[in-house]
Amino acid sequence: MTTDTYKAEVMIIENLALFNEAVVLFETEIHFKVIEELHSAIADWAQNNGWVAGGDWHHDVEDEFWVAPIDWSDGDKVKGDAFKAKFLLNCLDDESDNFILADLFNVGQTEYGFWVEVVYPYFGGWKSFEKSISAEFNEKISLLEFSKQGKEYFLPVRLKYEDLVRGARDNDYSICFSPIISALDTLKRSKSIFDELFYKASKK
């Protein structure tokens, strides 16, 4: 046990009633108030830009928020998945033990962002799809701040903890999510780059 862990343990035990009340309040009310505003920000952006949005962190944290252009929908061709690709909001490191909001607002162990989830069977599998990824594509997408993480591409979303504090004080968490809107705008700008990649991959 580190010195910091020991000090935290003693502080929690000495203030157990307050700590218990805080955790219950956080898990049953605060989390959902913030996530509701996040959901609204993403859904409103999608509606205003002619995209589709889905997902729900209220009942299942594994059901990530996602967005996709309508013309990426491909129905039954993708074995039950309606889209050949989506942008999923999720953490960079899925081993984090922190509260979602701590990681989301950059005071936890990892960061959140949008993953590009491609349904590879549509393009004949990963190996076939990989042949379409060029150095030029990687350069273009990196200029929009995407990074390659294994087989996937990731766009970080840097929400500010200071905005979360201000949202709590003002009882208005909608002020927290301008970085989400900026990231969504970047996804929209990236669409033409991914469209070109998907077109090449579909011809393999």
Please tell me the predicted confidence (pLDDT) of residue 94.
73
Task: Show the tokens assigned to 163.
Answer: 């905005």
Distance of CA 201 to the CA centre of its chain: 25
Please tell me the predicted confidence (pLDDT) of residue 56.
66
Q: Are 186 and 192 in contact (CB under 8 A)?
A: no
Please tell me the predicted confidence (pLDDT) of residue 80.
40
Please tell me the predicted confidence (pLDDT) of residue 75.
61
Give the type of residue at 42.
Answer: I
Please tell me the predicted confidence (pLDDT) of residue 9.
87
Residues shown for the chain: 204
Task: Give me the average pLDDT of each 10-residue run along the chain (204 residues).
Answer: 81 88 88 92 95 71 78 62 88 81 90 93 86 93 95 94 96 95 98 95 80
Please tell me the predicted confidence (pLDDT) of residue 79.
41
Please tell me the predicted confidence (pLDDT) of residue 58.
53
Please tell me the predicted confidence (pLDDT) of residue 4.
76
Measured CA to CA, the distance from residue 181 to residue 177 in angstroms comes to 7
H-run or E-run covering 112: strand 112-118
Please tell me the predicted confidence (pLDDT) of residue 122.
85
